[in-house]
Structure 1
Amino acid sequence: MKIKRCLTLILTTATFLSIPLLAANLNAATTSNKRIENSKLKLGLPTRDGSVPSIQLAQNNEAVETPDPNQEVDTNGANPAEDPSVQRGLALAEQVYNANDPVQARSDLTVEEQNLVDSVTQPAALEVQSQPIDSAPTQGAPTQGASTQGASTLSTYTGCWGLNQSAKRKALLGNTLYTYWQTTQVCARNGRVTSVAVTNAGGETSTPGWRIARNPTTSTKNVGWEGRGLARYYFVLGAGGIDVQNPTDCIQMRLNGNGRNYRYLSSCNLDAS
C-alpha cells in the first residue's frame, strides 16, 4: 500500500512539473514560427497563407516597399530638376542605361538606388497643352469641350483653323521623361468640315534610357461636323537590347466645323466616344 501511494505521488509530481515545460515548448514553437514567417516576409517568400508581399530586402536587412507605378508625386510647384533626389536618380539612370551591361550595372546598385532609378524613369502623370495656330479664326478663342454635331449646325463658319497640342509624360518624381506634339487643321464651308490634316508631329526624350523607336504615324477622319486628327508615338525605355517599357501614347484632336469648339483625347481610336 505504501508503494502504491509513493507511485501515485511520483506520477502527480511529474505531471505537475511537465505542464510548465510543455507551455514553454509551445511558446518557443510559436515564437519560432513567428520568426520564420517574419523571415519569409523580409525575403519576399510565400507565407503560410500563400501570399507573397511586394517588398524587397535592403542592404541593412530592413524591408523596403516597392514603389507604386501608378503613384503620382506632388512637387508643389517646385522645379523637379532642382530636387537633389531627382538629380541623383538621373545620374544613376545614366550610369545604368549607358553601361555596356545595363543589367549588371543595375544589379550593382543598392535597393534604395534601384528604387530611385525607377522613380525617375517610370511613367506617371501626363501634362497636356493646347495652343491656337496663326490660322485660327478671330471670332473668339477656341473652346475646349465636346465637339458635337449640333454645335456645327448653328454655325455658318467658312474657313480653316487649327490647334497645336503637346503632352509631357512625367516620372514618379516629377521630371519629364519625354514630350510629344502635333497640329491638327480643318477647313470648313458653312459649318461643315471639308478637309482634315495632321502636321508637325514629333517628339523628344529628356531622361536617360528613353528613346524614340520610330517616327510618329498619323491618320485623320472627317465626320462632317468635325475633323479628327490623330498622331501615335513610339517611345521605348531600355538598353542593351532589353526593352522594359513600350507605352502607347497618342494625341487626338477633334476640331468642330464651327471654327471654335474642339476636344482633346489621348485615345488612339478615331471612332472612340
Structure 2
Amino acid sequence: MNKNELDSAFDRLFEETVQSMDITGSGSQADADAVEASWQKLQKRLRREAVRAVWLRRIQWAAAAAASLAAGAFLFHSLQTTEALRPVYELAYKVKGGALSVQSAGADPRTAAGARTAPPPMDDPPFQPEMRDNRDLPEEGTFRRKKVSLEEASFQSQFVLPVPKELPAGFRLKHVILHFSMGESKADAAKLLYAMQDGTDRKFTILVRKRDYSDHKSMPDGKRIWLPHSSGGGGELEWNEEDVNVIIRGELGEAEQNRLASHMPMVQ
C-alpha cells in the first residue's frame, strides 16, 4: 500500500469513527476514555488494511508468473518440426550408425553433364613495377654484390663477358663488381672498372648486363649509339649482343670507345 492509499484509508476510517462517536462538550473522563478506545480501534484497522494490501500485491505477482509459465509451456509444447527444404531434398530423420543421410531428389548424381556455370575469374596477377633503366647496375628489388677477379666473374655470370683484347695506353683492370638479383645463383650484371696505372683520375667502366635491363633492348645486335656527356668530355657507347647489353662509359672519346668495342669479342 502506497502513501496515497494509506492516507485515503485513514481518512475513511477516521470519518467512520467520528460518526460513531457521541461527543458532547461536557469533557468528562468517560468521553476521554471513549475517544482513546476509538483511536486504538482505528489503528488496528489501519494495520489490518496495510497487511491486506501487501498480500493482495503478492497474490497478483504470483498469478502473473503462473500465467506466464503456463503460456510458455503451451507454446513450446505445441512446436512442430519444420522441413524447410522438403521440396528440394529427401531428408532421413533417423540417424543410423552415427551419420545423417541426405539424398538429393533431383537428377542422377552420376550424370556426365559438366558445370552449368562458368568458373570464377582468376585473381589478377601481382603488380610488377615497371623496370627503370638507370644505365648502371640494377637498383630494383633485393640483391647482393661482390668484387671478384675477371676469371671468377666469367664463371659466376649468367652470360659470357665481352672482354677487350686491347686497352687504351696506360689503363688496366682494377676490379669487377658482380650483381646478383634475389634468388639468382649467378650474376645478371657486371661492371668492369679500368683506371690509369699512373694514379691519375682518368678511368672508364664497361657495364655488361641482361638485355632486358636496357631501354634500348629492341635495338638490333651490333648497332651502336653514342651519347656524349654534357660536360667534362667523354660519353657513353651502347650496343646489344645476343642476350647482353653493353655500355662503355668514361673519359674516352667516341673514336676511342668504338675502337675499344671493336676489340671486345665474346670470349669464354
Task: Normalising by structure 1, report the TM-score.
Answer: 0.24
More contact order relative to length (CA 8 Å, sep ≥ 6): 1
Relative to its length, the structure with more strand (as a share) is 1
Pair member with larger Rg: 2
